[in-house]
A and B are shown apart, each in its own frame.
Chain A
Amino acid sequence: MSCQEITILLNDYLDGVLSPTQKQEVEAHLKECSTCQELLSNLQQVRVTLREFPQISVPPSLAEKLYQIPAKKKAKWPTWLGWLARPLPQQITATLAALSLAISFYTLLPNRAMLAKYLNQQLHLGYHHISSLWTQAESITVNIEKVSDSLKAPWQALKEEGKED
């Protein structure tokens, strides 16, 4: 067995779960190879060290904060406002808030006329863009119809030829 093959088996060797044949092979290799011997010794040290790291206790200040979390979550909304925290009213409230914000922004704006003009321009540009797209789509439809008409006659001829055969 090569060093690489032995390396993979070292943890199982230390756990004592190798088959007798594998165990013999590992031990035979270890007698000959100082590199693998050293790796085994370090692996043993690592395994013991990892198990020796003790569990650390939760600091009392942290425990206190954790105890308060459920209470804090409940107290987030006063009881009489609790319905606002439910999903649907939340969405409606958010939409109304966004709308009122947009309306107040528009009505309170000093140069409202300019904004109206700009919005009007943008609307017209959009409308113009849509209508040009519509015209293009119509011309494509007409072209498709033309092509399909031009194919109809040869198709009929081919069908009739087929019947005669």
Chain B
Amino acid sequence: MIVNTYAPQIFNLAFHFTHSREEAEDVTQEIFLKLFSSLKKYKKEMNFTAWLLTLARNHLIDKYRREKKEKSLRQELDERVLTESGLLSPENGHDQKEVKLIVWKALDQLSTEVRLSIVLFDLMGKTYEETAEILDVPVGTIKSRINRGRLQLARLLADQQPQKRRI
């Protein structure tokens, strides 16, 4: 029951955070191990999804605290990872594919907290309130992180598509 309901969310969060399928699988297992050993700490009045995603977020941040490790892991991302994961569908046009790749790679350049906010809100469809609860910060902070992150991605997209600017 827990696995069926929550594994997709944890796996997607881990995948979008690590940008590696193998790493995401390992991380998902680690998070579920942690979940089963911390279930005693869960109180009925808590929102279970938010509680579990907070546990996942803490695990991800602890695991990839060292920026070096994070970067070396995420260097392996490429078109293959995206295609295999179904994020680049064959029906996507060339331009659309290119933009997706640029945005995907640009996500790596965001800070951990901004990236997590974008992943939860934009990629996983959480609300501002849910994202704020999971990341344990006020809603205003989440809004400003998402605003900042999207603008940063837009600028990075502009840098990667100089030819379009000239047209």
B100 interface hit (Cβ, 8 Å): yes
B117 CB → nearest A CB, Å? 12
Q: Is B140 an interface residue (CB 8 A)?
A: no
- The answer to whether A55 touches B8, judged by C-beta atoms less than 8 angstroms apart, is yes
CB of B99 within 8 A of CB of A54, answer no
B87 at the interface (CB under 8 A from A): yes
B150:A11 contact, CB within 8 angstroms: yes
A-B CB contacts (within 8 Å), total count: 88
Q: Across the interface, do A65 and B85 meet the contact criterion of CB distance under 8 Å?
A: no
Flag whether B158 is at the interface (Cβ < 8 A): yes
Find the B residue at minimum CB distance from A11: B147
Would B124 and A51 count as touching, CB distance under 8 A? Answer: no
- Please report the C-alpha to C-alpha distance between residue A13 and residue B130 in the assembled complex, in whole angstroms: 23
Partner-binding segment picked from B24-32, B45-53, B61-69, B70-78: B24-32
Which range holds the interface residue count of chain A?
A: 20 to 34
Q: Is A24 an interface residue (CB 8 A)?
A: no
Check A46–B33 contact: CB distance below 8 A.
Answer: no
Q: Are B122 and A50 in contact (CB under 8 A)?
A: yes
Asked if B29 and A45 make an inter-chain contact with CB atoms under 8 angstroms apart, the answer reads no
Closest Cβ–Cβ distance, residue A16 to chain B (whole Å): 15
CB atoms of A63 and B103 under 8 A apart: no
Contact present for A43 and B154 (CB under 8 Å): yes
Q: Which chain B residue shows the least CB distance to A47?
A: B150
Known: A53-B87, A56-B87. A70 touches B12 (CB 8 A): no
B25 touches A59 (CB 8 A): yes
Residues of A within 8 A of B118 (CB): 50
Q: A57: which B residues are within 8 A, CB to CB?
A: 8
